[in-house]
Amino acid sequence: MAQQTIIQLLDDLDGSEASETVVFALDGKTYEIDLSDKNATSLRKALEPYLEKGRKTSQARGSRRGSSSSAGASNGDTAQIRAWAKENGFEVNDRGRVPAEIKDAYAKAKAA
């Protein structure tokens, strides 16, 4: 039996269709939020005065990027998960966060 799962990225603020996942850090914690073009622009405009005066670092202090996910996959595994998902009938975006249900299915398949 064939199965096709369609993943639709929704804006975390207003529920509209999201176009991207924005990653940002504050107080040593890294956050991700799915946003439409309109809301992503609003976030960037709100942060603009702080970004202009702030110093860039290679990574947020105290963050452990890539160390947590529902399936225990690191950021390096994301490409493998996306490829596996596409080969197994899941619809997954080429960018942004990989949905937890896909990570879980990948982990179960690898454990089997």
Structure tokens at 102: 């896909």
- Give pLDDT, residue 76: 52
- Specify if 101 maps to a domain: yes
**Domain housing 71:** 20-111
Domain count, the chain: 1
Mean pLDDT by 10 residues, the chain (112 residues): 88 94 89 94 95 80 44 62 89 86 87 82
- Asked whether the whole model's pTM tops 0.75, one would answer no
- Specify if 5 maps to a domain: no
Could you tell me the CA-to-CA distances from 81 to 5, 45, 46, 90, 104 in Å, in that order?
15, 33, 34, 10, 10
- Give pLDDT, residue 66: 43
Structure tokens at 109: 């398949």
